[in-house]
Amino acid sequence: MKSLLLLLLVMATGFKHIISSTIPTTKFDLDNGLCLSWRLAVEANNMEPWPTVPTACLIYVKSYMLRGQYNRDVEMVVDQIYEFLSSIVAKDDDKDAWILDVDDTCISNIIYYQRKRFGCDPYDPQGFKSWAMKGACPAIPQILGVYKTLIESGFKVFLITGRDELLLGPSTTMNLFMQGFVGHEQLMMRNSTHKGQSATIFKSGIRKQLVEEGYRIHGNIGDQWSDLRGECSGTRTFKLPNPMYFVP
């Protein structure tokens, strides 16, 4: 009885103290949800440009990505995509298009980012290239479902990625094929003519080119704001969650 009372006392008074003394004394402690505020600000693009995940949010972002909330957030977006899709019909002139980004839209880099402390480590271009050359990114299943529905419904799907065509063309093509992304109109990658361009400039340039060719861009799906901003962004844009990195 005495020890129970003691336990209750510790829980009432000491527990909070024990927790707060074991986590970093930055403003990003778990107690007051500042990592959640940080993630919301990142997703709303209020933090642009942000270099890395704050170290104090490593555990938060790791559990967000691995323990179900990321998947639920993707599913929430995908529900909206299907809702919108049910309101549009592709004509038979083959000009109804959708744009999809590749990295962390069609295929996932979570395995790679686990080694990079979920984005707490700075961007490592060489490390990412080595990973991408393996062609081992798994499909994001909900987006694969959307992709297949789009193609079955007669839409032309264009995949636009900032990955370098010369270096990563074969591995990216193979990776997408092996993961079930079969039937898109074109995979458009960064080549020598786009060197030095930001993702927004590069991607909106390609979309503009498609619109000039007569395509009607209905939807545009990406995990980065730079996938969705700029000219010819599409009738609807769909932002997938990504608290691990920012692409300008």
Ligand X SMILES: *[C@@H]1O[C@H](CO)[C@@H](O)[C@H](O)[C@H]1NC(C)=O
Residues that bind ligand X (CB under 6 A): 188, 191-193, 206
CB 233 within 8 A of CB 207: yes
Q: Which residue is nearest to ligand X (CB)?
A: 191
* Length of the chain as a residue count: 248
Nearest approach in angstroms of CB 15 to Mg ion is 41
Residue 206 binding result from ligand X, Mg ion, none, given CB thresholds of 5 to 8 Å by partner type: ligand X
Region binding Mg ion by CB under 5 A among candidate stretches 33-41, 56-64, 100-108, 149-157: 100-108
The terminus-to-terminus CA distance of the chain in angstroms comes to 61
CB atoms within 10 A of CB 170: 12
Nearest approach in angstroms of CB 111 to ligand X is 28
The half-sphere exposure of 70 on its side-chain side, counting CA atoms within 13 A, is 20
Nearest to ligand X of 122, 196 (CB atom): 196
- Ranges of H-type helices in the chain: 2-9, 15-22, 34-43, 58-66, 69-85, 110-115, 125-134, 141-152, 165-178, 199-212, 225-228
Nearest to Mg ion of 96, 223 (CB atom): 223
Per rule CB under 5 A, is residue 101 in the interface with Mg ion? Answer: yes
Token pair belonging to 211: 């619109």
Token pair belonging to 110: 């979570």
Per rule CB under 5 A, is residue 143 in the interface with Mg ion? Answer: no
Token pair belonging to 109: 């880099």
Q: Rounded to whole angstroms, how far apart are CA atoms 178 and 158?
A: 18
Residue 96 binding result from Mg ion, ligand X, none, given CB thresholds of 5 to 8 Å by partner type: none
User: How would you label 155-169 residue by residue, b for 16+ Cβ within 10 Å and e otherwise?
Assistant: bbbbbbbbbbbeebe
Nearest to ligand X of 22, 192 (CB atom): 192
Q: Which residue is nearest to Mg ion (CB)?
A: 103
Tell me which of 98, 223, 233, 240 binds Mg ion, using CB under 5 A: 223
Nearest approach in angstroms of CB 159 to ligand X is 11
What does the DSSP assignment read for 109-129?
Answer: -HHHHHHTGGGTSPP-HHHHH
Nearest to Mg ion of 85, 160 (CB atom): 160
Nearest approach in angstroms of CB 214 to Mg ion is 27
Nearest approach in angstroms of CB 173 to ligand X is 14
Nearest to ligand X of 3, 193 (CB atom): 193
